[in-house]
A and B are shown apart, each in its own frame.
Chain A
């Protein structure tokens, strides 16, 4: 097992900027989930 304990502080600042694509991707995913859910919810309301 490699010792990883004190390497944590190293890349704090650039780390945040370097995952912006990930943040954008998961939010796109999240909006898709909301969009489909709301779509079927309206279908349910329409059929009430």
Chain B
């Protein structure tokens, strides 16, 4: 099919840029491990309170400077909702829900995941600076959706 020379130039440049973007996110995801949260673990949503680690939600030390933060979402709260993390900790956040779909967003960070009944979702982040972060539900879950929140404080190690 006939195509104008300039259009060929434009499509070469445009499609080239698309592949450049894809390469950047692809290398970052598959070579450097920056995949979006995609945990494949399942759980019985009606037995969350009896299933470890969600039977004892909260921050657990798992290694030298490594932690697990297990959080249960339900309409319209997170358990726990006041969390302290020592500065420099590498934290794997595991979240699940007891009822409907919720969101889990730590404002101002890349921690942003869907929490769906029957699944655990997970994301690992290292907290290098002290400060306060708001966690909020960013997926509609009912009348109290906009009141569903929690707080994280990153503090200097005692």
Establish whether A and B are touching in the complex (CB under 8 Å).
yes
* Chain A contacts for B21, CB-based, 8 A: 37
Count residues of B near A (Cβ-Cβ below 8 Å).
Answer: 15
Q: Is A1 interfacial (CB-CB < 8 Å)?
A: no
Expressed in whole angstroms, the Cα–Cα distance for A37 and B9 within the complex equals: 21
* Chain B contacts for A48, CB-based, 8 A: 34, 110
Binds A, one of B10-18, B37-45, B49-57: B10-18
For B9, give the chain A residue with the smallest CB separation: A23
Q: Is B30 interfacial (CB-CB < 8 Å)?
A: no
For B111, give the chain A residue with the smallest CB separation: A47
* 0/1 string, B89-111, CB within 8 A of A gives 1: 00000000000000000001110
Interface residues, chain B, with chain A CB atoms under 8 Å away: 2, 4-6, 9-10, 13-14, 17, 21, 24, 34, 108-110
Interface residues, chain A, with chain B CB atoms under 8 Å away: 8, 15-16, 19-20, 22-23, 26-27, 30, 33-34, 37, 41, 44, 47-48
